[in-house]
A = this chain, B = another copy of it.
Amino acid sequence: MSKSKWIWYPGSFELYHGMLLHNRRTSSRAYEDGSVKSLYYYPMWRVDGPRHNSILIKTAEISKREIIEFYANTELARITVDDTSYPVGAKITLEPGRHTVCVQGFKECGFPCYYIKGNVFASDRTYLVEERDEKAGRHAGESELYTELNDNPEVFKFAYTPIFPLVTERLEGGTLYDFGKESFGPVTVKIPKDGYVDIFLGESREEALDTKYSQIVLNANIEDGSYTSLPVAFRYIYIPNVFDATVTASLEYLPLESKGSFKCDNEEINKLWEVCAYTMLLNSREAFFDGIKRDRWVWGGDAYQSFFVNYYLANDKEIVKRTIRMLRGADPIFKHINTICDYTFLWLCGIWEYYLYTGDRSFLEDIYPEMLDMWNFISGRLDKDSLYERKPDDWVFIDWSTFDSNGPMCAEQMLLCRACQCISLCAKELGDVDTVSEFEKRHLYIKEQINQRYWSDSKGAFIDDYKSGKNNVTRHANIFALLFDYTTNERKEQIIKNVIYNKEITPITTPYFEFYELDAMCAIGDFEYVTNMLDSYFLGMLRLGATTIWEEFDPEKSGIEHYEMYGGKYEKSLCHAWGASPIYLLGKYALGVMPTGVGYKSYIVKPNLMSFNEIEGKVPTPNGEIYVKADKKQVLVLSPISGGTLIIDGKEYEIKKNELLTVEL
């Protein structure tokens, strides 16, 4: 591996690719004259671009002579060594001693990147942002993906695999191509006649054939008998009035290794795990997407759950870091992340959990000042009691459900409280004692306020809003209370009885919130609830032919009713990342692997068969995969790292590095 990496102004790489991806969404629109047009779809929040200027600097003492070579992706760049400047392409000898190397440049399109071959002065994160470029003392941006001189950080490194239709069906009005499963990538259509052709895509057969309401149309211009689209999502492709086309595609994806795995004696569950992994693969791109047909955007809440799935599937650090930076955007912070207050709180939580699962201290150091900036934004919008209350610009989301949500919502206080706890945990790691003390206090204070203001003795549950007088109970805040351990055991028992197992309380319909519900139920040890939900809810989709997990699922609906959402006939996404949570749940609670110290410095393995007879799988850590196999007679664990403890029925066994541990039951 090269010693050097391409470097840039911190955040520019992520903001550049974020800007491009957030502006690639289209939607189709049918007009009265019968035409159907593909229209650019504007993002719902401010999308920041990269810095077009940057200046990065490093001072160090070298004991050996060093030759450095300077490269940049722009001619408008220079390197300055001590007091002498040189153009791009310069090769400079540094004698032993103390030197300062500074690179600077401008690029109108894209963003300036620099590459310095050398030893101590090889380009990497140890270069700092120079003071005139705003905040001082920050590290240069870099990525593990761009370490070779001929890499281009402006081109995102995807992999491509050719794919073909499994079934080609000649219908009366045209030809339908079925690729067999949800796919994403550029589509190529060859027709022996030039001109404009409309190509309709569908995640479902019905959508592709419904030329008036299908979400994605390609207004293709066939030249020299061929047309290739930008990358799009599809399973079905329908071309009206054309019967002699050849349709192929490329699967475009980020080649993340699935280091995690899970098998059990229930084949449907094994298939579910694979479908979840494929759903994740499609949505794991420049950052974690929500869905690949719609929105193809990065939403903080969706991404937050993808982080957890990632820790049990690939444990790829780079995609989490990119997602965090993309969500953060540039200064000034003017609205909540994606305009949603809960997503801002989750963004803060996600950083602590990233550190817990990866132990990546460099990133924690880099992002920590941005966390504090985010807090400053939040704190300027708290109410007089230092609690969260909706402001006119805020989107209070929590979930697609009906809440009593005009006032200060209980679920938001729960997330605010957890965000404060996570800031305090991060501050502790970095030795920022004043911040630890402030946020530990805030966390305890908010927890107390939640229990005082929102608990209803008559309902035996947390209510949505203590001000409105409606005493409305939904599952969401109560689930957070279980998940974050924010109330007494006695109240938890009441919540389980009065909310979770109470069919009168509106059930969760999105896999998004199902994630939190199942996580909470596992956290309190109720695995039956989980396996029932895996069966009725997740396998429910698979039994209807889903090849990826949907945005929402209501077992009561039938036929194309399933595809309707937001008032659009096919607007529901049929490949939505937030449905991949079974990977996380099975890895964390069935295989039972979870870090207890940062970066798996210490960890536990607490396998649970749930409703299965045997389970087997791997969980990726920053330093290799932990293998776990369990049935009713024995438990096997093999781990490449030390610090582990196997727990069975409360009894603890030390897991020695690279030694197979077998416990007979």
Contacts and interface: CB of A to CB of B under 8 A. Distances in A.
A78 interface: yes
A49 B49 contact: yes
A132 B40 CA distance: 17
Interface in A299-331: 331
Contacts of A44: 132
Contact of A19 (B52, B55, B86, B87): B52
Nearest to A26: B76
Nearest to A105: B40
B53 A43 contact: yes
B334 A39 contact: no
A38 B339 CA distance: 46
Nearest to A79: B39
A132 B46 contact: yes
Contacts of A78: 39-42
A181 interface: no
A33 B45 CA distance: 54
A29 interface: yes
Interface string A38-69: 11111111110101110100000000000000
Contact of A53 (B37, B42, B85): B42
A332 interface: yes
B39 A87 contact: yes
A134 interface: yes
Interface string A496-527: 00000000000000000000000000000000
A332 B330 CA distance: 10
B85 A29 contact: yes
Q: How large is the interface on A (under 10, 10 to 19, 20 to 34, 35 or more residues)?
A: 35 or more
A104 interface: yes
A266 to B, nearest CB: 46
A86 B53 contact: no
B84 A29 contact: yes
- Residue among A76, A104, A134, A335 with the most chain B CB within 10 A? A76
Interface string A87-104: 100000000000000001
- Residue among A23, A40, A43, A334 with the most chain B CB within 10 A? A40
Contacts of A393: 131
A241 to B, nearest CB: 22
A86 B47 CA distance: 22
A76 B23 contact: yes
A45 B87 contact: no
A41 B76 CA distance: 8
Nearest to A84: B29
Interface in A202-237: none
A580 to B, nearest CB: 29
A332 B334 CA distance: 10
Contacts of A339: 132
Nearest to A134: B334
A106 interface: yes
A133 interface: yes
A410 interface: no
A108 interface: yes
A39 B85 contact: yes
A109 interface: yes
B104 A42 contact: yes
The 9 nearest A-B residue pairs measured at CB: A109-B109, A23-B106, A42-B104, A332-B332, A40-B76, A49-B52, A39-B78, A331-B332, A40-B78
Interface of A: 19-20, 23, 29, 37-47, 49, 51-53, 55, 75-78, 84-87, 104-106, 108-109, 131-135, 331-332, 334-335, 339, 393
24 contacts: A19-B108, A20-B108, A23-B53, A29-B84, A29-B86, A37-B87, A39-B78, A39-B87, A40-B77, A40-B78, A40-B87, A40-B104, A40-B106, A43-B53, A46-B133, A46-B134, A47-B52, A47-B106, A49-B49, A49-B51, A132-B339, A134-B334, A134-B335, A331-B332
Given A39-B78, A40-B75, 17 more contacts: A19-B52, A20-B108, A23-B106, A29-B86, A37-B87, A40-B105, A41-B78, A42-B104, A42-B105, A47-B52, A47-B53, A47-B106, A49-B51, A49-B52, A131-B393, A134-B335, A332-B332
